[in-house]
Amino acid sequence: MSTGDFLRPLQWRDGRLYCLDQRRLPQRQEEVACADVRAVAEAIREMVVRGAPAIGIAAAYGVALAARDRYGEDAAHWRQALEQDMQLLAATRPTAVNLFWALERMRARAAALEGDPFPSLLAEAQRIHEEDVAANQRMGELGAELIAQDPGAVLTHCNAGALATGGYGTALGVVRAACAQGSISTVYAGETRPWLQGARLTAWELIHDGIPVTLIAEGAAAHLLRGGEVRWVIVGADRIAANGDVANKIGTYGLAVAARHHGVGFMVVAPTSTIDPATPSGEAIPIECRAEAEVLCLAGRRVAATGARAWNPVFDVTPAGLVDVLVTEKGVIHRPDASRIASLLEASDEKMY
Catalytic residues: 238
3-state secondary structure of 3: coil
Nearby residues of 142 by Cβ (< 8 Å), 6 or more positions away: 174, 327, 331, 332, 350
Q: How far apart are CA 34 and CA 31, in angstroms?
A: 9
The residue type of 353 is Y
Q: What pLDDT does 226 receive?
A: 98
Do 268 and 325 meet the contact criterion of CB atoms below 8 Å apart? yes
In the chain, where the domains are located: 10-131, 137-352
List, for residues 146-178, the tens digit of each pLDDT value.
999 999 999 999 999 999 999 999 999 999 999
Q: Would residue 288 be called left, alpha or beta, if left means φ above 0 and alpha means ψ between -120 and 50 degrees? A: beta
pLDDT exceeds 70 at position 259:
yes
List, for residues 51-97, the tens digit of each pLDDT value.
999 999 999 999 999 999 999 999 989 999 999 999 999 999 999 89
Residue 210, exposed/middle/buried by CB under 10 A (0-12, 13-18, 19+)? exposed
Q: How far apart are CA 84 and CA 121, in angstroms?
A: 16
Confidence of residue 5 (pLDDT cuts 50, 70, 90): low
Beta strand 315-318 pairing with 325-328: unpaired
Judge if 10-131 and 137-352 fold alike in CATH terms: no
Average pLDDT (336-344) is 96
Q: What pLDDT does 341 receive?
A: 96
pTM listed for this prediction: 0.92
pLDDT exceeds 60 at position 353:
no
Average pLDDT (4-22) is 90
Confidence of residue 340 (pLDDT cuts 50, 70, 90): very high
pLDDT exceeds 90 at position 349:
no
Average pLDDT (240-264) is 98
Nearest Cα neighbor of 140 from 174, 180, 187, 181 is 174
List, for residues 287-297, the tens digit of each pLDDT value.
999 999 999 99
Q: Which residues pair with 10 in a beta bridge?
A: 19
Confidence of residue 348 (pLDDT cuts 50, 70, 90): low
pLDDT exceeds 70 at position 2:
no
127 Cα distance to chain centroid: 18
Q: How far apart are CA 75 and CA 178, in angstroms?
A: 51
**Reported CATH class of domain 137-352:** alpha beta
Averaged confidence pLDDT in the chain: 95
Handedness of CA 209, 231, 137, 93 (dihedral sign): positive
Q: How far apart are CA 48 and CA 163, in angstroms?
A: 11
High-pLDDT (> 70) share of the chain, %: 97
Nearby residues of 189 by Cβ (< 8 Å), 6 or more positions away: 155, 156, 157, 198, 199, 202, 203, 206, 213, 214, 215, 216
Q: What pLDDT does 164 receive?
A: 96
Q: What pLDDT does 140 receive?
A: 98
Nearest Cα neighbor of 87 from 72, 71, 74, 106 is 106
Q: What pLDDT does 7 receive?
A: 84
The residue type of 100 is F
Do 136 and 173 meet the contact criterion of CB atoms below 8 Å apart? yes
Q: What pLDDT does 1 receive?
A: 41
Architecture in CATH for domain 10-131:
Up-down Bundle (1.20)
